[in-house]
Amino acid sequence: MIGIFDSGVGGMTVASTVEQICPQIPLLYFGDVAHTPYGSKSAETILGYARCNIDFLLEQGAKVIIIACNSAAATSIQTLRAEYSVPIIDVITATVSKATEGTKKNRNRRIGIIGTRATIQSGSYEEQIKQRCPACHVYGQECPLLVPLIEEGWLNHRETKMVVRRYLMPLRQHQIDTLILGCTHYPLLTHLIQKRIGRQVQLVDSSIEAAQCLKSFLDNSPEIISNTREKKKNSQPHHLEKNRFFVSDVTPSLQKLANKIFGRNINLIKTDA
Ligand code: DGL
């Protein structure tokens, strides 16, 4: 069983990609909607939430954890890995690898990152990019208004376009060739972001990279696969309905967004983690 958490629906972009590339692996999702957004909170508070989320997923039977929240990964990953013996996959490491490989190939080594305030201020992406590619120039842009707009379901509103435009302006001026979507909510705005930053800029989606990272991890860890794989007589993918989606609060806009991300009705189970 794979346990995935985020502050809200953002991590569902990771869960949905995991369903597509590892359809036989059962998932448990926890969205800490009651405490969203994480990105404007202190590192200490985010760490406390992350611990509760992991404890909840482990109690429910998770054998591998994906931190599908850049804000939690950026601020807390080292502490969490030191505290828990379970394998923990995070969105940032995988994303950095893809972005640096991309920018080294016939590109200008200028990487932009958009994320929450907690993610950008942690310097975590910049540090990891510099380790892999010291010659890269890194430009971070905090986008604190995007998560609330997305959680509200304002994916095509004029106001959202204006905010995207405002946040991307400095990155356009820096002539970046690669842009990291450093928040798992942002894939829901890919259409606006790509249009505004320009088609020549390669977008790196942290939700896709985290899901790919899980797949490689499972391919190299057969013992975990046999523990987590659905035990079925035939080899058909397990019924996706068996995946469980827990949230610490439910609202109509959240339900709508969850259904949109997965393209089916998602049964959100309210729980106090
Ligand atoms: N989706 C999350 C992230 O990747 C969290 C957004 C938030 O709660 O601020 O950072």
- Cα-to-centroid distance, 234 and ligand 1 (Å): 38
Residue nearest to atom 8 of ligand 1 (CA): 37
Q: To test ligand 1's pocket by mutation, which of 32, 33, 46, 70 has the most ligand atoms within 8 angstroms of CB?
A: 70
Give the CA distances from residue 249 to residues 72, 102, 253, 258, 268, in Å, rounded to whole numbers and listed in that order. Answer: 19, 38, 11, 13, 9
Interval between CA 68 and ligand 1 midpoint (Å): 8
Q: How far does residue 134's CA lie from ligand 1's centre (Å)?
A: 27
Q: Can you give the pLDDT at residue 64?
A: 95
Q: DSSP string covering 131-155, please? A: HH-TT-EEEEEE-TTHHHHHHTT-S
Structure tokens at 212: 């790919």
Atom of ligand 1 lying closest to residue 40 CA: 9
Beta carbons within 10 angstroms of residue 120's beta carbon = 24
Tokens read off for 161: 């376009």
**22: annotated active-site residue:** no
Place of tokens 């993918």: 237
Q: Tokens for 14, please give them.
A: 């990771």
Kindly state the tokens that stand for 255: 């339900």
pLDDT of residue 106: 63
Pocket of ligand 1 (CB under 6 A): 6-8, 10, 36-39, 69-71, 116, 119, 147, 183-185
Q: What pLDDT digit, counting tens, does each position of 163-181 carry?
A: 999 999 999 999 999 999 9
pLDDT at residue number 236: 46
CA–CA separation, 28 vs 61, rounded Å?
Answer: 9
Q: Per the residue annotation, which of 133, 143, 183, 213 is the catalytic one?
A: 183
What is the longest distance spanned by two Cα atoms in the chain? 57
Report d(CA 177, CA 3) in Å as an integer.
34
Mind listing the pLDDT tens digit for each residue in 1-28?
A: 999 999 999 999 999 999 999 888 899 9
Residue 115, classified by CB atoms within 10 Å of its CB into exposed (0-12), middle (13-18) or buried (19+), is buried
* Spatial CA neighbour of 12 closest among 256, 224, 272: 256
Profile the chain (273 residues) by mean pLDDT over runs of 10 residues: 94 94 92 94 97 97 96 96 96 91 80 97 96 95 95 94 98 96 95 97 92 91 68 50 91 93 95 81
Tell me whether residue 69 is one of the annotated catalytic residues. yes
Q: End-to-end CA distance of the chain, in Å?
A: 18
Query: CB of 38 within 8 A of CB of 46?
Result: yes
Return the structure tokens found at 256.
């709508």
